[in-house]
A and B are shown apart, each in its own frame.
Chain A
Amino acid sequence: MPFRFFDHTADVGLELSAPTLPALFEEAALALSAVLSRSGRVEPRRHVSVSLTAPSLEQLLVDWLAELLGRFDVELWVTGGVEVTVDRGDGRCSLQALVAGEPLDLRRHPGALPVKGITYHRLSVLQTADGWCATIVLDV
């Protein structure tokens, strides 16, 4: 599994790694979905498009997960698959995504872990010899 959870007294930490930047953002979405759905199987029944712009990769990662978290709160949206493109240039980063998923169904999913927000605590997005890695902490 390319993402890993780490313990934090009142929060949930995520460590992500991927060969490319788009794959890192895809992993982040699936990791959040695994938290929200308590690792329940998510079917790609519907698709939504997401478009975001931010001044840094770190802010883009926060915005990306905050967008998906907001959708969860409004329509119980959980992500089962995602295709991301990331562009960088002129001091700005942008993301285009096609997200596949469905509303959480408590008859099929084992419950939901409430996530309050996406924090900046220990936030990092770094390029490594093997690709990219990120750390992000969810406020639960």
Chain B
Amino acid sequence: MYHNVPTGVGARRRDLQLSSRDLRAVLERGAAWAVARGYGTEADLERVEERGCLPGADPDLLSARALERGRPQLGTLGSGNHFAELQYVSEIYDAPVAAAFGLRLDQVTIMLHSGSRGLGHQVCQDHLRVMVDASRRYGIALPDRQLCCAPLESPEGRRYLAAMSAAANFAFANRQVMAHWVRESVAEALEIAPEATQLDTLYDVCHNIAKLETFQIDGRPQRLCVHRKGATRAYPPGHPDTPAPYRHVGQPVLVPGDMGRYSYVLVGTVQAMRETFGSTCHGAGRRMSRRQATRVGDARGLLDELRARGIHVRAAGLATVAEERPEAYKDVADIVRIVHAAGVSTRVAQLRPLAVIKG
């Protein structure tokens, strides 16, 4: 996996080169572009939020720099808190839902956390500049300029939404390509065909995104822009946008933890639709700054300690390992316990790491 999925700053695979036309198609079609090119199957798309494509994406609204940054980065993991992790199912909390998700005790799973890479960051940077000015013109008082904004129906708001959707589609395609290479890696290691790996996509879900979705407000359906920041979608059973294979139980929710403890699979609820616009937590969140984390101890000691516990780490840079040490994050079990108790998603399974790839 470490060799097949490019990891860290500047890493890329030479066998995936995007032309300008290809990149445009990625931005318009998202994960479907990847599947059409042989990276995965139609069955994968059924298990991706919005089938891996946000409507209304307009590649023409991306700057030359955004496109330049994105072109070599499709199918790359990136750095920071992004990861690829080989895990096993260490606990089942809800047996019927786990069975519907295809999860069983001691089963091996793989979790990927990556996004729209430099392309998405540049879309953000370009539009922050526009929004700082727009906030002033629309008379919006800001407590912090990083919260700059414009009305959704304004030209600036519409243009941003279309550019952000293109970046989201890049992210869907990025994860789809990586998922395919993960499958190939397992097949290579086991010397079997990729189809024989039984590595089926459980779910691919966005976080840190704004989307237009329909909710019942005052007894009637209304189209709203839901911004999930530090949050992810948690749709209930029976909802038309909960993927068909899971419609009888609810949408899977993936909540990554840190590299030394555990991650969780939860399921969306009716209560989330009532109380949080179909949203729940998306991860643990940092407890220490990067510099604080490096003061706790060095990376080599941490790697030895994790190895003694059966967790093998491969990283492009040792400094990132020290910054991403488990203690730098809140205990995700606490976060999950809270959202479970609040009923905005409920626990299905706990996943513990066996091997971790960091950028």
Which residue numbers of A lie inside 8 Å of B, CB to CB? Answer: 5, 7-10, 12, 38, 55, 59, 62-63, 66, 69-70, 73-74, 76, 104, 106, 110-114, 116-123, 139-140
Contact = CB atoms under 8 A, between A and B. Distances in A.
B68 interface: yes
A114 B146 contact: no
A47 B122 CA distance: 23
B317 A111 contact: yes
Contact of A73 (B69, B144, B318): B69
Nearest to B66: A70
Contact of B145 (A10, A110, A120): A120
B309 to A, nearest CB: 25
A-B CB proximity, top 6 nearest: A111-B317, A120-B145, A114-B79, A73-B118, A121-B146, A112-B9
Interface string B279-312: 0000000111111100000000000000000000
Contact of B69 (A74, A111, A112, A139): A74
Contact of A111 (B129, B145, B292, B318): B318
Contacts of A122: 144
A122 B316 CA distance: 32
A121 B319 contact: no
Contact of A8 (B9, B80, B289): B289
Contact of B65 (A10, A59, A70, A119): A70
Query: For the side of the interface on B, what is the size category?
Result: 35 or more
Interface string B316-341: 11111000000000000000000000
B128 interface: yes
Contacts of A73: 69, 118, 121-122
A122 B287 CA distance: 21
A9 B288 contact: yes
Contact of B144 (A7, A66, A113, A121): A121
Dominant SS among interface residues on chain A: loop
B221 interface: no
Interface in B66-112: 68-69, 72, 78-80
Interface in B261-290: 286-290
Nearest to A54: B129
A123 to B, nearest CB: 6
B68 A9 contact: no
B194 to A, nearest CB: 30
B116 to A, nearest CB: 10
- Which of A73, A122, A140 has its CB near the most chain B CB atoms (within 10 A)? A73
Nearest to A114: B79
12 contacts: A12-B289, A74-B68, A106-B9, A106-B316, A111-B318, A112-B10, A114-B78, A114-B79, A116-B124, A119-B146, A120-B132, A120-B145
Contacts of A123: 145
Given A9-B288, A70-B69, A114 B129 contact: no
A59 B129 contact: yes
A120 B291 CA distance: 21
A66 to B, nearest CB: 5
A100 to B, nearest CB: 20
Contacts of B288: 9
B121 A117 contact: yes
B218 to A, nearest CB: 36
Contacts of A118: 125
Contacts of A104: 9-10
Given A106-B317, A117-B121, 4 more contacts: A5-B291, A7-B292, A70-B122, A104-B10
Contacts of B121: 73, 116-117, 139
Contact of B9 (A59, A63, A114): A114
A121 B286 CA distance: 18
Contacts of A119: 128, 146
Contact of A114 (B125, B145, B148, B359): B359
A119 B125 CA distance: 8
Contacts of A69: 125
A38 B288 CA distance: 19
Nearest to B146: A121
A64 B124 CA distance: 16
Contacts of A9: 286-289
- Which of B10, B133, B148 has its CB near the most chain A CB atoms (within 10 A)? B10
A104 B9 CA distance: 9
A117 B9 contact: no
A117 B286 contact: no
Nearest to B323: A113
